[in-house]
A = this chain, B = another copy of it.
Amino acid sequence: MSINLPLAEERYTAFNILLADDHQMIVDGISGMLAGEQAYRVAGTALDGQQAMEMIASRPDDYDVLLTDISMPLLSGIDLCKMVKASYPRIQVLVLSMYSSMAAVQEAVMAEADGYILKSSGREELLKALHRITGGGTYFSEAILPIIYSQYEKAKTQEDYQRILSARELEILAMIVKEQTSEEIGTVLFISKKTVDNHRANILEKTGCRTTVGLVKWAIKNGIEG
């Protein structure tokens, strides 16, 4: 961050926001919300990640902030964030998500997002987050702190469980969600069905699920193969 960004109050021109969300209702809603704000201007909108990436790539100087949903067609908000941060680190990224899950927040942080707010939060919090990140800071929704905290607590009390899944476990979980049985998974991965079953047991334990049904919901909620 070599350039020191001036605060909103000190600027003569508004911050230009690129809004990416596959729900037109959200796009229109947020556009309407920001219409009355002099500090921010919706300079462009995209209905999927790829479109957003193309818009930024063609005119990177037109945007100061990317406000993006996580789950979008063609290119997810997480991948979009990674790409933008890699090529245009000047652009601040604020992730807007439905999910307050540990995995989703963690992915956003890994993708170097500058902030993360929930769709269950309102106009007030959006403005606060925008103010914070355009000031060069970060903003993570208060609402997600208890989740992170509770996960941390669980990890401490439950003897180090509830930690993240290993690569192998993620691989198997993805196959489970694709409706493959333990035997089929074993055949594909050249390991015993018994090993797959052991992995399943570990996955169930780590995710805190009791059945495969819960696992599928967990996987979808956490954006695995989504």
Contacts and interface: CB of A to CB of B under 8 A. Distances in A.
Interface string A25-66: 111111011011000000000000000000000000000000
Contacts of A126: 25
Contacts of A36: 32
A214 interface: yes
A98 interface: yes
Contacts of A201: none
Contacts of A24: 119-123
Interface of A is mostly: helix
A216 B121 CA distance: 28
A2 interface: no
A212 B185 CA distance: 17
A197 interface: no
A96 B25 contact: yes
A13 to B, nearest CB: 23
A128 interface: no
Contacts of A217: 177, 216, 220
Given A211-B179, A217-B216, A33 B23 contact: no
Contacts of A35: 32
Contacts of A179: 210-211, 213-214
A22 interface: yes
A144 interface: no
Given A179-B211, A216-B216, 5 more contacts: A24-B121, A25-B96, A25-B121, A28-B122, A32-B123
Interface of A: 22-30, 32-33, 35-36, 96, 98, 118-123, 126, 176-177, 179, 210-214, 216-217, 220
5 contacts: A24-B119, A25-B118, A28-B29, A177-B217, A212-B212
